[in-house]
Structures are given as C-alpha cells and as structure tokens.
Amino acid sequence: MKELSLNILDISKNSVKAGATLTEILLDETDSVLTLTIRDNGCGMKKEMVASVTDPFTTTRTTRSVGMGIPLLKLAAEMTGGSFEIKSKHESEYPDNHGTVVTAVFNKNHIDFTPLGDIPSSITTLIQGSPDTDFLFKHTLTSGQVGVDTRELRKTLGDVPLDTFEVILWIEEYLKEQYEALK
C-alpha cells in the first residue's frame, strides 16, 4: 500500500469480518519507531490458520477470505528493518477471551518506510462501513495523543446511528482537529 492507513483499513476489516464487537487500533510513535497494534475480540483463529495467514498463497487462490492485507503489512514492516507478529485465540479454545492481535513495528527513519497517510479519513471510513461494531482508535505521539472511542460517542448519540452523515463528518473533523492541535 502506498500509505499505511490503507493497510490499517484492510486489516481492521478482517476484525469486523471475524465478528469483533470491539476493534482497537493503536499507533504508538516515538522519533524513530512506529508500532501499530490492531486488537479485536472476534472469533480468533486456530493455530494452523495463524501460521498460514502470512503466507500469501493460502489467502489468494480460491478462498480469499483474508486477502493480501496481512502479507503486505508484514512486508511493509520488515522492509524498514522492523518486525511483525500475529497472535490469536480461537473461540473454540477460549470461549471467554478470544480474538486476534496484530503487531507491526516500523523503523520510521528507514528510506522504505511507508508514510501513515490520511488516518482521519481511514478511521472514519472504517466506522462508516461497520457502524454497529465499536472501534477504539488511539494514536500516541511524542507531542500528545489523538483518538476516538465509538463506545463514548454512542453514549452521547443515543439512538442516532454512527453512520449518519453528520456524525461521520463530525468524526473526521474531530480527528483532524486533534492532529492540528498537536502541530
């Protein structure tokens, strides 16, 4: 992906597809390292599946249920001399605490580091696409923090759905303003 934000969008959709009611998208940034964590409480994956999702061929041919998102994110991280890890607990073995955690570490100063891109737009697109599930987005930078939690928004909105046009516009503006304030 030309921008990491598109990759984040792609991976987070897997979480929604896995039936997650909450997907956390966490970005932790220092001057030299960016750590991306996507954690969900979806159905999780069995050991064999976890081992195979980074292999692009298990995900391409006939059953494109996962897509190339994971292999490409792994490649993007490793190209910067960073690392990639995926951990999962399947609901059959962990009925109470199942889910998947994807962690990618990037060396920001490497020439092949992919810029983050338009995060407010990607996070908003994600919320708009799955308004019935919850998302927690938190971006921690050296200058401060940016974030949104749809569980909090719901409290304020009451019965108004998250994908209401005005709400979606507001979320994107809200994130943009937070980034502006850190500049």
Partner 1 sequence: MTVNDLLKVEGFSSVVLCEADREIQGVYIGDLLSWVMGRAKSGDAWITIMSNVNTLAVATLADTSCIILAEGVSLDEGVKETAQAKGINVISTPLSSYSAALKLYSVLKL
Identify the residue whose tokens are 């020439």. Answer: 111
Q: What element of type H or E holds 171?
A: helix 165-182
Query: Quick one: which of 111, 114, 120, 126 has its CA closest to 139?
Result: 120
State which of residues 68, 101, 136, 157 lies at the interface with partner 1 (CB under 8 A). 68
Of the candidate spans 55-63, 88-96, 121-129, 166-174, the one that interacts with partner 1 by CB under 8 A turns out to be 55-63
Residue 1 touching partner 1 (CB under 8 A): yes
| Paired sense of beta strands 144-149 and 99-107, if any | unpaired
Phi, psi (rounded to 5 degrees) for 84: -145, 140
62 lies in the binding site for partner 1 (CB under 8 A): no
Tell me which stretch binds partner 1 (CB under 8 A): 39-47, 60-68, 90-98, 169-177: 60-68
User: Does the footprint of partner 1 cover residue 165 (CB under 8 A)?
Assistant: no
Candidates 48, 61, 156, 180; binder of partner 1 (CB under 8 A) is 61
Query: Minimum Å distance from CB 68 to partner 1?
Result: 7
| Count of residues engaged in binding partner 1, rule: CB under 8 A | 12
Distance of CA 11 to the CA centre of its chain: 6
What sign for the dihedral angle of Cα 24, 71, 17, 126? positive
Query: Which is closer to partner 1, CB of 1 or CB of 141?
Result: 1
When the beta carbons of 72 and 168 are compared against partner 1, the nearer one is 72
Q: Using CB under 8 A as the criterion, what x/- string covers residues 96-115 for binding partner 1?
A: --------------------
Sign of CA dihedral 67, 68, 71, 76: negative
Cα–Cα distance measured from residue 83 to residue 67, given in angstroms and rounded to the nearest whole number: 20
49 contacts partner 1 (rule: CB under 8 A): no
Rg (CA), the chain: 16
N- to C-terminal Cα separation, the chain: 26
Site stretch for partner 1 (CB under 8 A), options 29-37, 65-73, 150-158, 175-183: 65-73
Give the footprint of partner 1 on this chain (CB under 8 A): 1-2, 6, 55-57, 60-61, 68, 71-72, 75
